[in-house]
Chain A
Amino acid sequence: MKDLIIPWDEHDKGTPARTGAPVTLTIDGFEVTVPEGTSVMRAAAEAGIDVPKLCATDTLEAFGSCRLCVVEIDGRKGTPSSCTTPVVPGMVVHTQSEKVRRIRRGVMELYISDHPLDCLTCAANGDCELQDMAGVVGLRDVRYATGESHFEQFGPSGGNPLWAPKDESNPYFTYDPAKCIVCSRCVRACEEIQGTFALTIEGRGFDSRVSPGAGFDDFLTSDCVSCGACVQACPTATLQENSMIALGTPMRSVVTTCAYCGVGCSFKAELNGDTLVRMVPHKAGKANRGHSCVKGRFAWGYANHSDRILSPMIRGSIDEPWREVSWDEALSYAAKRLQDIQAEHGRRSIGVITSSRCTNEETFLVQKLARAVFLNNNTDTCARVCHSPTGYGLGQTFGTSAGTQDFDSVALADVVIVMGANPTDAHPVFASRLKKRLRAGAKLIVIDPRKIDLVKSNHIKATHHLALRPGTNVAVITALAHVIVTEGLADEAFIAARCEGDSFADYAAFVSDPRHSPEAVEALTGVPADEMRAAARTFAKGGNGAIYYGLGVTEHSQGSTTVMGIANLAMLTGNIGRPGVGVNPLRGQNNVQGSCDMGSFPQELPGYRHVKNADVRAIFEQLWGVEIDPEPGLRINNMLDAAVDGSFKGIYIQGEDILQSDPDTRHVAAGLAAMDCVIVHDLFLNETANYAHVFLPGSTFLEKDGTFTNAERRINMVREVMKPKAGMADWQVTQALANAMGADWAYTHPREIMAEIAATTPSFAGVSYDLIDRLGSVQWPCNEAHPEGTPTMHVDGFVRGKGRFIVTEYLATDEKTGPRFPLLLTMGRILSQYNVGAQTRRTDNNVWHEEDMLEIHPVDAEDRGVTDGDWVRLASRSGETTLRAKVTQRVSPGVVYTTFHHPETQANVVTTDFSDWATNCPEYKVTAVQVAPSNGTSDWQERYAAQAARSRRIEAAE
């Protein structure tokens, strides 16, 4: 078997690392120098001496409860615990003496007296710190007779009231109180790492037990978000993955990258053979630092789901059932249909959609297919419908399209703005890192129509929540800038040194106009003027200011303008170019950043270089031996328009479900239905496949090599954990399709594709698989100037030279409420489901969210006679659907909210085809709607379900 194990230092040093002046001490005669504030335990570990421990782990602050780590220190009385004792210069420590050995054995004996001795049949056998420590301290017998215990179901006189059954309410892990040693690691992990505070220790002394929330709660009904931090922290089998209980201890481990959100967590895939046993967050992963969320940690069961299609399929028309065929037949059929279309309708009549869920290498090949084989620029990606305004807005102001920081930066922020993003649901691991910083005292300003969890939840509270009316982002951002400029809070030194003087003068004059004051826009935005002023002052005067934003910023008619406004705000306050500050788009999908970097947009070659530039085209023309079209291609929505018009006839869609994810479902369906050849390359027969003629089975992130680039510009390795179930990885399929159309691509491994990317794209010039393997990951730009990548951008100057301020005039969207549609619908996501749900709906995550619900304010609900849980009809100018209502004050009066994870709801039936002025990013976040009680599903939903079922028929194999 291929050697896939990467040698990371995973040694648990017992307590977290510290920074500080060097302190030298002696441990067991060995001299060791560590930073001030380091514990004796960690210092010993640095010297290669492990002190026995149970409650200590270097992912958590020291707690000092187990007493196993006691040591002797010259000149000190007693036996202090080494985890809670900080080092002192000249200290002389003895980790082994008869006295401490005796104490440790005694401690261990007491632990074991209340612990079952069923090691051989225990799920943690071989993976249990209690077992290890019993061995290390030389425990040979337990003198205590059986008395009161927590592990024996029956005592001498019948039932044992101290015994409690397993809590198996969570679908992914089991809590077995019988195995618990009450080290509190789970409770501390829930607090310190995840920040949810779901767990506690109830009772005192011998009665102490881990408890999820209140007495009547189990793990599922508690606040627990199933991030897995407690399971990870547990030293015994008390909190154990169900997959490991079922499958046994994994024998091999491969470091790879999660394929869910744009945080891009590193995981160890732990396996036996090619059977995945569990996914464990990787401590050395620089995006997640050993943390995870319910999706990446547990929701990987879709990879083995019976719905996966493993054979290529074709059909003549979408009314016919699918027919399973060989790869060769499917590819030559697809190639012929595409070539026939081009012959009849011209070069520009076909195109591709690259996948933000696939690797950089796969994305690169799909856009290359359009440019070098189709000979047009009709390539687009799902970033069109999420962060394309980020590309345009940051490109115009800073000179490049990417977040400016790494995630570590948030630990140094003093004031954080979170705008149009809901990190606790959509970017949970980043949210945990943010919450940790907030608990340490940083201030938070939330700009969002909804009362998201960050506004107020356990041990965190936003200093300001600007609950704006959907669609007024630009007015709010401009008003914040108005306060900063007119109250003299701008960082003039930064602006003078780093930004264009003329553009600042224009901008300052513009924002200073009284019509942009908080008072003037209060009626429009719904944000109280004094709150707006206070927020602006907090941001401008609070130290390091960092802005994190999401799709609530971009998915508007003025998405690009708001991004520019955010960039203006950062420059205005000097919050660019150092750790702790910056402008940080939170990317939706795992490889949205990468798919944009790789030239997925129709106007840009890889590295954000416009196709009109002959010198850029020449680089690729020379390498590829073709002439590249100098005209921009069609964007996704333009492709659909052109399809309806009859000039766009064929499309190859890799890993994207536009019928469910894109706005105005009926328009998308009409566009797809008008095409002669729709090729869907995916894991499942997704909604788009209802309109497809060719289905090519995809491979999961576990089945291929490649790289993903996360929201920090971090290029992380994706490693082939198991062989592709359908026989080919996605990059091989694209290559085979290209070759079936006459190309002669001959890549044998994705590393060769990365080499081509590096050779053609300046910001990737230094990137190679060898480099990523050596460093673990690398943030672009990575080139001669930055051989090991760039954690913080724009340090000495902006990519474009001087930062450019851009005037941001608020222009109301044309999507307006009125008598027929008096409410504003805005959309978002939920923790347990991901995007269109194709993956997460095929896991046990459905226990948390089995359907899309419509959040509606109690006042609006009462006006309409709607009560919690009722079926309601949601209608807009575009269409209508039905779903159930959730009456909540999280939304303001006049605003309703839902998610788009379930095809039965098809929430995008109601969204419109209005879009961002610069990029055509759809305006998902503002739709005028009406809500009324309903008896059940709409006619449209029933027709849709019937059509979907009909189009998924597969002809029985002969």
Chain B
Amino acid sequence: MSPDKMVHMANQIAAFFNSQPGGGAAEKVAGHLNDFWEPRMRAQLIAYIGEGGAGLDALVLAAADHLNAPAA
């Protein structure tokens, strides 16, 4: 997946959870990614965040700590 597309998709998820009341948005974003993103997609995202995560919504960056590192 191109980095642009990945960033766009992740930011879309962040935008939804940004709009939700009740706090815990970072956990919710991570929860969504853990539930719906296949391991190699999450691995790509985690690696991208590791390189600085250019263009990612702050909430996606905040979600990084809660992402399950993909098991092999």
Contacts and interface: CB of A to CB of B under 8 A. Distances in A.
Interface of A: 348, 377-378, 506, 510, 557, 561, 602-603, 610, 612, 630-635, 638, 641-642, 645, 647, 806-807, 809, 811, 814, 913-915, 917-920
Interface of B: 1-2, 5, 8-9, 12-13, 15-16, 19-22, 32, 34-41, 70-71
Interface of B, helix, strand, loop or mixed by DSSP: helix
A632 B13 contact: no
Contacts of B34: 612
Contact of A348 (B20, B22, B32, B40): B40
Given A510-B21, A642-B40, A631 B15 contact: no
Nearest to A808: B19
Nearest to B37: A632
Contacts of A510: 21
A645 B6 CA distance: 13
Contacts of A642: 1, 38, 40
Given A348-B39, A561-B16, 8 more contacts: A631-B38, A634-B38, A635-B36, A641-B1, A807-B21, A913-B5, A915-B9, A918-B16
Contact of B38 (A610, A638, A914): A638
Contacts of B15: 811, 917
Nearest to A631: B39
Contacts of A557: 12
Contacts of A917: 9, 12-13, 15-16
Contacts of B2: 641
A645 to B, nearest CB: 7
B36 A632 contact: yes
| Closest A-B pairs by Cβ, 5 of them | A809-B19, A917-B12, A641-B1, A506-B21, A634-B38
14 contacts: A348-B39, A377-B38, A510-B21, A557-B12, A602-B38, A610-B35, A612-B35, A633-B38, A634-B38, A638-B38, A913-B5, A914-B8, A917-B12, A918-B13
A638 B22 CA distance: 31
A632 B19 contact: no
A631 B1 contact: no
A811 B9 CA distance: 14
Contacts of B20: 806-807
Nearest to B1: A641
A506 B16 CA distance: 15
A919 B39 CA distance: 16
Nearest to A612: B35
Contacts of B38: 348, 377-378, 602, 631-635, 638, 642
A809 B17 CA distance: 10
Contacts of B1: 638, 641-642, 645
Residue among B16, B22, B32, B34 with most chain A CB within 10 A: B16
Residue among B32, B34, B40, B70 with most chain A CB within 10 A: B40
Contacts of A378: 38
Nearest to A647: B40
A814 B5 CA distance: 12
A807 B12 CA distance: 15
A927 to B, nearest CB: 16
A374 to B, nearest CB: 14
A506 B8 CA distance: 28
Nearest to A810: B19
B7 to A, nearest CB: 11
B23 to A, nearest CB: 12
Contacts of A632: 35-38
A557 B12 CA distance: 8
Contacts of B32: 918
Contacts of A603: 35-36
A612 B37 CA distance: 12
A348 B43 CA distance: 14
Contacts of A635: 36, 38
Contacts of A506: 21-22
B39 A807 contact: no
Nearest to A376: B38
Nearest to B15: A811
Contacts of B40: 348, 642, 647
A631 B71 contact: yes
A689 B11 CA distance: 35
Contacts of B41: 634, 638
Contact of A814 (B8, B21, B37, B39): B8
Nearest to A916: B12
Nearest to B6: A641
Nearest to B38: A634
A920 B16 contact: no
A866 B51 CA distance: 51
A634 B41 CA distance: 9
A610 B2 CA distance: 27
Nearest to A915: B9
Nearest to B8: A814
A522 B20 CA distance: 24
Nearest to B70: A631
Nearest to A560: B16
A814 B22 CA distance: 27
A806 B37 CA distance: 22
B49 to A, nearest CB: 18
A377 B70 CA distance: 14
A920 B9 contact: yes
Nearest to A633: B38
A385 to B, nearest CB: 16
A645 B8 CA distance: 18
B22 A918 contact: no
A630 B13 CA distance: 22
A348 B20 CA distance: 34
A612 B36 CA distance: 10
Contacts of A561: 16
A307 B23 CA distance: 58
Contacts of A638: 1, 38, 41
A375 to B, nearest CB: 13
A914 B5 CA distance: 9
A646 to B, nearest CB: 11
A725 to B, nearest CB: 37
A345 to B, nearest CB: 11
Residue among B5, B36, B38, B70 with most chain A CB within 10 A: B38
